[in-house]
Amino acid sequence: MGYCDSPYLYKRRKTREIVIGDPAHGGVIIGGNHPVVMQSMLTCDTMDTAECVRQTLELVAVGCQLVRITAPTVKDAANLQNIVRELRVQNCLVPIVADIHFKPEAAMEAVKWVEVVRVNPGNYADSKKFAIKEYSDEQYSAELKRIEEKFTPLVLEAKKLKRSIRIGTNHGSLSDRIMNRYGDTPLGMVESALEFARICRKHDFHDFKFPMKSSNPKVMIGCYRLLVARLQQEGPDWNYPIHLGVTEAGEGEDGRIKSAIGIGSLLCDGLGDTIRVSLTEDSPREIEVCRDLLAQIPILTNSGFIVQNSEFPFDPFHFEKRETPEIELADQVMCGGEQLIRVVVTRATWDKVAHKIRPKDDVKPEAVYEDLNIAEIDPTGDFEINCKTQLVTVKDGVKLPAITAFRLLAAKLKRLGRNNPILLKDCINFDECRTGFQPVSDSKENMETGKMPVLLEPKIALLRASVVIGSLLADGIGDAILVRGEPGAGQSLRLAYNILQAAGCRSFKTDYVACPSCGRTLFNLQTVTARIKTRTEHLKGVKIAIMGCIVNGPGEMADADFGYVGGAPGKINLYVGKQAIKFNIPEAEAVDRLVDLIKEHNKWVEPDGMEQKIPHPV
Ligand code: SF4
């Protein structure tokens, strides 16, 4: 079962075209050879027509091509008519996606007014209580029949009105029947989506696409690859477009890094027809990141060299770290085997940051590249490795994209029967990787090309390093990493640690899973996230989920230690793991109660007032 022809050759997956609205008048075509479509979501109350229109116009002004609006009730769904009418009056023709959870009747109302209806197979026509029940085969079939009865009217209406459906599976909200049969697994997510796709196809309706979201980039990457492999297995006409996103990625550099790892890695695999970068920030900022990320993919995938190999050096569907022996990387720093993935810096970076590092600091260089006993290999040719424990990396200047080069290195080592630890680099050409091109107005270059080379902007260096190193880490490849594309010394060091944390490889600070907010949000996500961070960001290794509501389910908090979740307007429910422990806490005291809960579970330490100050890359 495969999801792409070769892990060494970029080739965009061929998908069928889904026409959303009228492409001649503001609509878009998703799939085929069309550019990847950028989308986002409103954060305001759907009943506030003026604010919905204002936010939509703001998104469209920055290039958003598809705007999602939540419709929690039939009343909200009916108000989509007013929103769309007002947008069209203002000559804004952007297609709208209605976001539906739980209520088929809201979907039936929304389909009258908007171009796309999103349904969540995990909760369409289900109760808001998630539970794992036992299902016999008969009960399972009866459940499927019940879902078919509830979903078919929407399919028929969408077909009649020429609407599209987004079958949006979410890792955190799988149905009871799926959890019973497949567990909380990528296969469960995929089968959940396929159940709904089969109902669409039964009625010869094909205008649908699949998102398959998770807040964990490794899980998300595995799910999408498995989905594509299963679609290919079903047959050539199961070539439905894919929407990519990492859900609840959070904010700032962490949100960008998580999204770049998940979305970027799949785009480099040739998958994805539309994307959303979910950030707990104002929605227009998501579009800037979408655009920047998409612009990096040709740079990170193209090369003139064709690798004649299709053998995978990793399992694309299940994360498993490549087995390596433990070695001493530097004095008292081990790497490989079960050791932490280590952070290596260049001598130049070391010289700039060494005097700022204190013994207790978590963010510190663990080895200097120029001091390493390392074999630099050109994987495009034949090579020998005599020492089994020699650290290896790709030689600078190799004419391959970095992801391809490191995969090829891992594959060739495997063929040689070697499992040497690998040092990953974000780029394999030190000079080229630090430069981009920027329009200028008053130079000779500008007169000729309109562009001149400049140092990479930090935001671009961040995206490139996250895509390259994050993709390889998600493949299970890498025992140490080196970031050089970011020219700032402190920034490159911090970026390396942040990539390791976002990829789930190391935990050197508090981890936050925060939803981007939408019309269902029961508190101000940005303000509350900032408040929670102020109190908890010294808690190394603790993971806190901050969710505007429980729609995406407690499953999203599966690997969070604590959850702060909107329960009702002004009321918060607190979770320990997946379990709600405290209910309806007034918002004014909820952060204090969260801190109490962390203390009760012995995860609290007092801040020492000496938090490390290393500049942020964004
Ligand atoms: S979790 Fe957040 S973004 Fe998702 S539906 Fe609830 S409020 Fe909206």
Question: Per-residue pLDDT tens for 226-242?
Answer: 999 999 999 999 999 99
User: How do residues 190-201 score in pLDDT, each as one tens digit?
Assistant: 999 999 999 999
Query: At residue 406, what are phi and psi to the nearest 5 degrees?
Result: -70, -35
CB of 552 within 6 A of ligand 1: the answer is yes
Cα distance between residue 229 and residue 232, in whole Å: 5
Domain boundary among 482, 502, 522: 502
Distance, CA 566 to ligand 1 centroid (Å)? 9
Q: How far is the CA of 264 from the centre of ligand 1 (A)?
A: 23
Tokens describing residue 239: 């070539």
Asked whether 518 lines ligand 1 (CB < 6 A), one says: yes
Q: Give the SS3 label for residue 66.
A: strand
**How many angstroms separate the CA atoms of 465 and 468, rounded?**
5
Same-domain pairing of 223 and 257? yes
Is the distance from CB of 248 to CB of 517 less than 8 angstroms? Answer: no
| 283 & 239 share domain | yes
Instruction: Please tell me the distance between residue 406's alpha carbon and the centre of ligand 1 in angstroms.
Output: 37
Distance CA 352, CA 368 (A): 12
Q: What is the pLDDT of residue 61?
A: 98
**DSSP single-letter state for residue 593:** H
DSSP, collapsed to helix, strand or coil, labels residue 244 as strand
> Stretch 389-410: mean pLDDT, rounded?
95
Mean pLDDT value of segment 173-195: 88
Q: Domain with 68 in it: what CATH number?
A: 3.20.20.20
Contact 409, 390 (CB under 8 A): no
516 lines ligand 1 (CB under 6 A): yes
Q: Do 98 and 137 share a domain, yes or no?
A: yes
Quote the CA–CA distance of 462 and 483 in Å, as a whole number. Answer: 9
267 pLDDT higher than 90: yes
pLDDT at residue 441 above 60? no
Supply 413's token pair: 């080592």
How far is 192 from 386, CA to CA, in rounded Å?
A: 49
Output the CA–CA distances (angstroms, integers) from residue 103 to 47, 76, 309, 319, in the order listed: 17, 12, 48, 35
Q: Which residue has the higher pLDDT, 128 or 546?
A: 546
Q: Percentage of the chain with pLDDT > 90?
A: 77
From the CA of 492, how far away is ligand 1's center (Å)? Answer: 33
User: Does the structure show a pLDDT above 80 at 557?
Assistant: no
Confirm whether 310 is domain-assigned. Answer: no
pLDDT digits (tens, 9 = 90+) for 101-151: 989 999 999 999 999 999 999 888 776 565 656 788 898 899 899 999 999
Cα–Cα dist 244/294, whole Å? 12
Closest CA to 59 of 266, 254, 273, 277: 277
Shortest-distance atom of ligand 1 to CA 101: 5
pLDDT at 438: 46
Q: Are 485 and 546 within one domain?
A: no
pLDDT at 453 over 60: no
Pocket test for ligand 1, best of 101, 214, 276, 552 (most atoms within 8 A of CB): 552
Instruction: Select from 430, 349, 419, 347 the least CA-distant residue to 395.
Output: 430
Tell whether ligand 1 has an atom less than 6 A from the beta carbon of residue 173: no
What letter would DSSP give residue 332? T
Of 281, 243, 283, the residue nearest 262 (C-alpha): 243
Q: What are phi and psi of 388, to 5 degrees?
A: -65, -25
547 Cβ inside 6 Å of ligand 1: yes
At residue 432, the pLDDT reads 62
Same domain flag for 100 and 154: yes
Domain that holds residue 383: 327-502
Residue 498 counted as domain residue:
yes
For residue 359, being part of any structural domain is answered with yes
> Which residue from 227, 265, 228 is spatially nearest to 246, judged by alpha carbons?
265
Domain C-terminal end among 238, 265, 300: 300
Structure tokens at 589: 């005291």
What mean pLDDT, rounded, does the chain reach? Answer: 91
Ligand 1 atom 3 nearest Cα: 517
Residue 55, amino acid: Q
Rounded CA-CA distance 509/507 in Å is: 6
Q: How far apart are the first and last CA of the chain?
A: 40
CA of 514 to the centre of ligand 1 (A): 9
User: Which region among 368-382, 451-465, 499-513 has the lowest average model confidence (pLDDT)?
Assistant: 451-465
Establish whether residue 551 lines the binding site of ligand 1, counting it when its CB lies within 6 angstroms of any ligand atom.
yes
Which of 258, 281, 300 terminates a domain? The answer is 300
Asked whether residue 542 falls in the same domain as residue 581, the answer is: yes
Same domain, 206 and 272: yes
How confident is the model at residue 440, as a pLDDT? 40
Find the 517 Cα to ligand 1 centroid distance in Å: 5
Domain count within the chain: 3
Q: Are 156 and 146 in contact (CB under 8 A)?
A: no
Per residue in 502-538, pLDDT (tens digit) is 999 999 999 999 999 999 999 999 999 999 999 999 9
Compute, in angstroms, the gap from residue 49 CA to the centroid of ligand 1.
Answer: 19
Per-residue pLDDT at 609: 62
Assess whether the C-beta atom of 521 lies below 6 angstroms from ligand 1: yes
Range in 50-59, 130-139, 319-328, 595-604 with the lowest mean pLDDT: 130-139
CA distance 381 to 397: 13
Q: How far, in Å, is the centroid of ligand 1 from the Cα of 549? A: 5
**Ligand 1 lined by 517 (C-beta under 6 Å):** yes
DSSP three-state, residue 274:
strand
pLDDT band of residue 439 (cuts 50, 70, 90) is very low
DSSP codes, 63-125: T--EEEEE--SHHHHHHHHHHHHHHHHTT----EEEE--S-HHHHHHHTTT-SEEEE-TTTTT
Encode pLDDT of 569-615 as tens digits. Answer: 999 999 998 889 999 999 999 999 999 999 999 999 998 765 555 44
Is the beta carbon of 515 within 6 A of some atom in ligand 1? yes
Q: How remote is the CA of residue 524 from the centroid of ligand 1, in Å? A: 11
- Greater confidence (160 vs 513) lies with 160
Tokens of 165: 């459906």
Instruction: Specify if 608 maps to a domain.
Output: no
**Residue 544: per-residue pLDDT:** 95
Phi, psi (deg, nearest 5) at residue 72: -70, -30
Is residue 305 situated within a structural domain? no
* pLDDT above 60 (res 357): yes
476 part of a folded domain? yes
Please state the rounded mean pLDDT for residues 30-46.
97
**What is the identity of the amino acid at 102?**
F
Same domain, 179 and 278: yes
Report pTM: 0.93
> What does the pLDDT read at residue 177?
86
| Pair (238, 357) in one structural domain | no
Query: How far apart are the C-alpha atoms of 148 and 140, rounded to whole Å?
Result: 12
**Which pLDDT does position 446 carry in this prediction?**
42
Query: Which protein residue has the closest C-alpha to ligand 1 atom 5?
Result: 551
286 within some domain:
yes
Ligand 1 proximity of 557 Cβ (cutoff 6 Å): no
Give domain status of residue 290, yes or no.
yes
Average pLDDT of the segment spanning 542-549: 94
The stretch 263-289 carries a mean pLDDT of 97
For the domain that residue 542 is a member of, what is the CATH number? 3.30.413.10
Query: Sign of dihedral through CA atoms 294, 300, 305, 309?
Result: negative
Please indicate, yes or no, whether residues 491 and 533 belong to a single structural domain of this protein. Answer: no
Following DSSP, what letter does each residue of 152-215 receive, concatenated? HHHHHHHHHHT-EEEE-EETT---HHHHHHH-SSHHHHHHHHHHHHHHHHHTT---EEEEEEBS
Q: Does 496 share its domain with 530?
A: no
Atom 8 in ligand 1: which residue has the minimum CA distance? 518
d(CA 368, CA 350): 7
Q: Average pLDDT of 396-408?
A: 94
Q: Among the atoms of ligand 1, which is closest to the Cα of residue 522?
A: 7
Q: Could you say which DSSP state residue 278 is in?
A: -
**To test the ligand 1 pocket, which listed residue (97, 518, 575) has its Cβ within 8 A of the most ligand atoms?**
518
Q: How far apart are alpha carbons 189 and 136 in whole angstroms?
A: 20
- 604 alpha carbon to ligand 1 midpoint, in Å? 28
**Mean pLDDT calculated for residue range 344-369:** 94
- The rounded distance, in Å, linking the Cα atoms of 42 and 370 is 49
What pLDDT score does 618 carry?
38
> 472 C-alpha vs ligand 1 centroid, how far in Å?
30
Residue 207: the pLDDT is 98
- The one-letter code for the residue type at 218 is K
Q: Please tell me the distance from the alpha carbon of residue 191 to that of residue 298, in angstroms, as a whole number.
A: 32
Same domain? 476 vs 555: no
CA of 347 to the centre of ligand 1 (A): 45
- pLDDT of residue 159 exceeding 70, the answer is yes
State which ligand 1 atom lies nearest to the alpha carbon of 515.
2
Higher per-residue confidence, 95 vs 553: 95
